[in-house]
Structure 1
């Protein structure tokens, strides 16, 4: 069974869970904000958010996949502000080596793999590489990411 969540706006990520009477699990509202920064300083801007999966019945396992967002590609994802773009990505760990996606385009799915009854937290690690984006325009950038929890 798959339940789809919506992760809206990388600068202010909000998850929406479609209302359904048969839902065994739900996901909390989460936000990932990179905050204010200058592309002329530092090499990266990092931030985190937590996805909490809560299940009313015991599950033997589940997976969490993230969509590529509005850019349609995982490497890099792109936020937009009007006609301007800012590259970023979402990762499975603080090592920033595995792009969290749906298993395509060089991305991986997070496999929770163990029994769940109650709640479990999953951290999203976001990174904006500034060293290659020195000419980024000032603005409020956002993207929309779909989160799929399969169990």
Structure 2
């Protein structure tokens, strides 16, 4: 090898840094996913009746549509008719009332409410899409006679997620 090439190679070797130690660290990469849900419940209509001696049943469906997978609880208010409570909900025509209640089961044994006082909520884990549920209604028996007219109450259904 000629002398110039050897000096160039030697100079190149001297200018290249030599590493003799290392250090490292770790770091996290993260994302927080929030569940966002919307709720809708179809009106429950007991139909048209001319006799309130027997109980009249009705039903409706609702759904909660969420963006994620997480626990959801649906609570129901007592309603706006008459002097509604969870024990006895009422529809009214402005003066007169008709007693009824809402249930989460077709046997009409589990009263829908906010989970207090023996009432039930509808609880499930969202699937990341529309999750349906049923609401059952039943009027109280032996409420004749009542003035003709339309009786109603407004229920608020609240999804907590």
Per the shorter chain, which TM-score range? 0.7 to 0.9
The aligned residue for residue 150 of structure 2 is 140
- The alignment yields a C-alpha RMSD, in angstroms, of 1.9
Q: Which structure has the bigger radius of gyration?
A: 2
Q: What's the TM-score, normalizing by structure 1?
A: 0.76
Q: Does the aligned pair in 2 maintain the 1:91–1:100 contact within 8 Å?
A: yes
> Which residue of 91, 95, 100 corresponds with 2:107?
95
* Compared CA separation, residues 34 and 86, structure 1 to 2 (3 A): same
Q: Does the aligned pair in 1 maintain the 2:65–2:129 contact within 8 Å?
A: yes
The within-5 A match list for 1:46-57 is: 46-55=57-66, 57=67
Q: Does the aligned pair in 1 maintain the 2:39–2:158 contact within 8 Å?
A: no
More helix by share: 2
More strand by share: 1
**Number of equivalenced pairs:** 126
CA distance in 1, matches of 2:52, 2:111: 25
Q: How far apart are 1:28 and its partner, in Å?
A: 2.9
Greater relative contact order: 1 or 2 (C-alpha under 8 angstroms, separation 6 or more)? Answer: 1
* Compared CA separation, residues 63 and 29, structure 1 to 2 (3 A): closer
Give the gaps of 5 or more residues in structure 2. Answer: 1-33
Q: What's the TM-score, normalizing by structure 2?
A: 0.72
